[in-house]
Amino acid sequence: MVSFFEVMIERDFSSAHQLRGYKGKCENLHGHNYKVEIYARGEELNNIGLLIDFGDLKKAADEIVRYLDHRNLNELPPFDEELNPSAENIARYFVEYLNSRIGDERVRVYKVRCYETPTSVATFQIE
């Protein structure tokens, strides 16, 4: 049986978007108060008993939040052309960005849950 440690942080931001190619009201510009849950895991703790410093994970996540907050996602790369700004793609963007910022090979961000509303959530997860 494989065992691992896991940590999770939450972040919030507000953004507008419209879904290209969608047939319905979400093709129109509208906004959400997003919440993201960011999960990191690893099998080993560092020399002081931490998987990752919460402050370091929060700092990296806050870089993304500052970029997205109070903006029209359709105007920001990669959502301007490459990716539709769906909750699924936002979750994937967080995972990929955070893993490029964490310089510790013991720990990986493996899952992000992106809430568009309290009852509508998309998850991107890597194994």
CA distance 117 to 105: 33
Parallel, antiparallel or unpaired: strands 5-17 and 120-125: unpaired
Mean model confidence pLDDT for the chain = 96
Q: Mapping DSSP to helix (H, G, I), strand (E, B) and coil, where does residue 38 land?
A: strand
**CATH code for the domain in which residue 44 is found:** 3.30.479.10
Average confidence (pLDDT) over 96-114: 94
Residue 82's domain comprises 5-125
Average confidence (pLDDT) over 109-127: 97
CA distance 118 to 12: 12
- Threshold 0.85, pTM exceeds: yes
Number of domains present in the structure of the chain: 1
CA distances from 104 to 6, 12, 40, 56, 117 (A): 15, 25, 12, 11, 33
Q: Which amino acid is at 36?
A: V
pLDDT band at 127; cut points 50, 70, 90: confident
* Digit-coded pLDDT (tens) for 19-78: 999 999 999 999 999 999 999 999 999 999 999 999 999 999 999 999 999 999 999 999
